[in-house]
């Protein structure tokens, strides 16, 4: 069976993003890493629902907690900074977060600044990304 590409129907406006993120604590995304990263086959992105630059020790504690809770090992190429994030509506149940890196995308896709932790790693808990080359994301909500 061939996995279909994720299609975008529309991008959320800045107001829609702010409304969408009201009770979101974080979003975790897992995707296949480029083939030449054999020891770290999964590309993880954690989108924390804050636009504040947290102190380094707090960021490290949050990062370590994610690693422990999700059985993630061997993190490399770790980036942790405030980045523009857009959201797309597609055929999936939840809005897909989009880490915007290209200047053109930052200008053309409505976005909101979020603290993003982006890295390559391995885990036995994300077989969809690791074994089936699928991309997925999950939301964690505050009560």
- The reported pTM is 0.91
Report whether pLDDT(46) > 60.
yes
Task: Write out pLDDT tens, residues 3-16.
Answer: 556 777 899 999 99
Residue range 23-51: mean pLDDT, rounded:
94
Task: Write out pLDDT tens, residues 48-91.
Answer: 999 999 999 999 999 999 999 999 999 999 999 999 999 999 88
- Cα 111 from chain centroid? 14
């Amino acid at each position: 069976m061939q996995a279909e590409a994720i299609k975008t129907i529309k991008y959320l406006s800045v107001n829609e993003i702010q409304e969408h993120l009201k009770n979101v604590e974080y979003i975790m995304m897992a995707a296949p890493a480029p083939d030449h990263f054999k020891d770290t086959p999964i590309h993880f992105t954690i989108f924390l629902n804050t636009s504040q630059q947290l102190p380094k020790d707090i960021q490290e504690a949050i990062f370590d907690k994610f690693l422990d809770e999700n059985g993630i090992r061997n993190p490399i190429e770790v980036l942790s900074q405030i980045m523009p994030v857009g959201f797309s509506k597609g055929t999936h149940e939840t809005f897909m977060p989009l880490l915007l890196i290209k200047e053109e995308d930052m200008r053309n896709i409505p976005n909101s600044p979020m603290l993003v932790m982006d890295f390559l790693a391995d885990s036995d808990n994300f077989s969809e990304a690791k074994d089936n080359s699928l991309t997925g994301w999950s939301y964690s909500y505050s009560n």
